[in-house]
Chain A
């Protein structure tokens, strides 16, 4: 397929994805906490991630920049898990768009950054994400008061339970990545901290 045609198809697919999640189904996705936190937020992140994957060759972040981007990604996700932010994102349309844009950008840099970064940082990032999701999930699950006025307490508890399960899965995935990274063939292929910093 011609390169520019492929590019056009990619861009159209991404835009359709954004339109569906952020506009067409926005109202439906904001109806329950599960849809909002477990479908809309990750979907925007995923679209960003796929966009980043598509244009991965054009993005070559520096080692120090990768750490900054990962920290910003963590903070973005934390921010959109705070009850007040969730409420505002549901009630206020502008805030809602900022959330979508933020997730899109966070996801966009994730693939190029994770593929370029050293295993040490990758594992710490994944581990902290897993811990954050578990802690956030446990909070939603155990709290008997309504944290977000836009949703119900049942929705809050169900969202918490799913977040715990996602967090546990990510935790074991992190351990798996760590141990898989210790295979001889993986070690030869991987960029390691010694080489990457020494060559800078």
Chain B
């Protein structure tokens, strides 16, 4: 571990406090957008088709961006406060640029009515739109800003880690693969940070290509790009972004869980092999988004299925085994932090399993355009990433003794978690009943049973969203109070 001086630490503390407040404020607002969508699908309210897609776009882009930014911000803080020197000015540059990007997206969607979905499926944002051209341009520019901020952040962290741990080969753990004894232990969080952020750099650069193409298209409507090429670029960017969000969080689970279990969690050969497999296959797994595109060469579909299996299974299996060996007979005190981490890993595993099921070509033929897809990504985001983030915030702001005494947060947490699982169950049930995804409502479906099942499940799911919000609110009492104290008290680390 490196020593950080008190001035630098204070600066890093301010930055993470800023990220935390931003996350805590925006997150429930984005949930409310999700609630509105499900209320509309459940025929409880009538948003109108246009507004539904506006809300869907902001909810999707907002959640993906917010969760990645907070996960990255937390990883940044953890690395900066323990292992490497990270430049605070770069940290603030990223924060400011992300906020400008988010404001741009909010204006483009809520005022400009941009409603092309997070995936911006080409040529959807340009042909026959119900929103003006400036809203599309503003969305694209905002996304470029977000991409640049994340890109600079990723490169900065990777360089800092490589400098501190002796180069690329060392931060991805290759020194463990030789016969020589390793002199300096590599913290697992460093390995996972490198494995997550390097593919991020490659994906963000690819994202820049399609965003510039979109910008050109916006200025010259007559342009006609290859749809398949654009879709490949979008999903390479989007899928990698969502994947690395999760891996950023897993990094700090590896770092923080041992503090609660009292057992060391070290890097070993198996861990290096499995995470290196993830490093490689994460870049090709996105092909599973294109199974329905018959013009995509068949070998790429097969590669997509194989890469999905190989990118998910080794890291999941090794991490789950690691978590179990951390907690098994460890006399761990089940305060909110280890609970969120354990159940977050469970959420990741459940959502990941559902994702692997869907990435199987034979099954994808049936499930691709159904609610199974939002089911799986809501599982690993809501009951995985969000739990990790909440766990991180509790770890940041409360001592272990304070966590034991804080019964209110535990109550809020269980309320949140049970409601979240019931909520995603409604999506899974929808998927299994062939309820289509991305439909603003189901009134136009000529099959009465599909219409009624879809609407009923959506209406039921809103009850769980209300409960989930109540659980979150209960946790917020504790988080906000403690975050304020932690931020003001210099002795609290």
Chain A hits for B158, CB < 8 A: 182
- How many residues on A have C-beta within 8 angstroms of the other chain's C-beta atoms? 35
Is the CB of A136 closer than 8 A to any CB of chain B?
A: yes
Contact A145 B216 (CB under 8 A): no
| Interface residues contributed by chain B, number (CB under 8 Å) | 39
Judged by a CB distance under 8 angstroms, whether B433 is at the interface is no
A127 interface residue per 8 A CB criterion: yes
Are B213 and A120 in contact (CB-based, < 8 A)? no
Interface-lining segment among B83-91, B239-247, B389-397: B83-91
Closest partner residue, chain A, to B217 (CB atom):
A139
Q: Are A131 and B212 in contact (CB under 8 A)?
A: yes
Q: Contact flags (1/0) for A133-153 with B, using CB distance below 8 Å?
A: 011101100111100000000
Does A119 contact B87, Cβ atoms closer than 8 Å?
no
Residue of B nearest to A200 (CB): B89
B159 at the interface (CB under 8 A from A): yes
- Check A132–B168 contact: CB distance below 8 A: no
Classify the interface of chain B: helix, strand, loop or mixed: helix
| Stretch from B33-41, B202-210, B434-442 at the A interface | B202-210
Q: Is B6 in the interface zone, CB < 8 Å from A?
A: no
At the interface, yes or no: A128 with Cβ under 8 Å from chain B?
yes
Q: How far is the CA of A183 from the CA of B168 in the complex (A)?
A: 6
Whether B223 contacts A131 by the Cβ 8 Å rule is no
Q: Does the CB pair A193–B225 fall under 8 Å?
A: no
Q: Which one, B42-50, B149-157, B415-423, is touching chain A? A: B149-157
State whether B223 touches A143 (Cβ < 8 A).
Answer: yes
Q: Known contacts A123-B201, A193-B90; decide if A139 and B163 are in contact (CB<8 Å).
A: no
Most buried by B among A119, A143, A178: A178
A181 in contact (CB, < 8 A): yes
- B-facing mask of A163-200, CB < 8 A → 1, else 0? 00001000100110011011110010000111001100
Cβ of A124 under 8 Å from chain B = yes
A182 partner residues in chain B, CB cutoff 8 A: 158-159, 162, 167-168, 171
Q: With A and B bound together, what is the CA distance between A193 and B86 in angstroms?
A: 9
Instruction: Identify which of A119, A130, A194 contacts B155 (C-beta below 8 A).
Output: A119
CA A186 to CA B143, docked complex, whole Å = 32
Residues of B within 8 A of A132 (CB): 212
Identify which of residues 51-92 in chain B touch chain A, using a CB-to-CB cut-off of 8 Å.
85-87, 89-90
A135-B213, A136-B216, A194-B86 are contacts. A120–B208 as well, Cβ < 8 Å? no
CB-CB under 8 A from B168, the residues of chain A are 179, 182-183
Contact of B148 among A124, A135, A183, A198 (CB under 8 A): A124
Provide the residues of chain A in CB contact with B155, threshold 8 Å. Answer: 119-120, 123-124, 178
Q: Name B155's closest neighbour in chain A (CB-CB).
A: A120
Question: Which residue among B89, B163, B226 has the maximum number of chain A CB atoms within 10 Å of its CB?
Answer: B163
In whole Å, how far is B143's beta carbon from the nearest beta carbon of chain A?
13
Of the candidates A119, A178, A194, the one whose C-beta lies within 8 Å of that of B85 is A194
Alpha-carbon separation in the docked complex, A130 to B213 (Å): 12
Provide a sorted-by-A list of 22 A–B residue pairs whose CB atoms are within 8 angstroms: A120-B156, A120-B159, A127-B151, A128-B208, A130-B205, A134-B212, A135-B212, A138-B213, A139-B220, A142-B224, A142-B226, A143-B220, A167-B209, A171-B205, A171-B209, A175-B205, A178-B201, A181-B159, A182-B168, A187-B162, A194-B86, A197-B87
4 cross-chain pairs, A with B, having the tightest CB-CB distances, nearest first: A182-B168, A131-B208, A135-B212, A184-B167
Q: Which residues of A contact B (CB under 8 A)?
A: 119-121, 123-124, 127-128, 130-132, 134-136, 138-139, 142-145, 167, 171, 174-175, 178-179, 181-184, 187, 192-194, 197-198
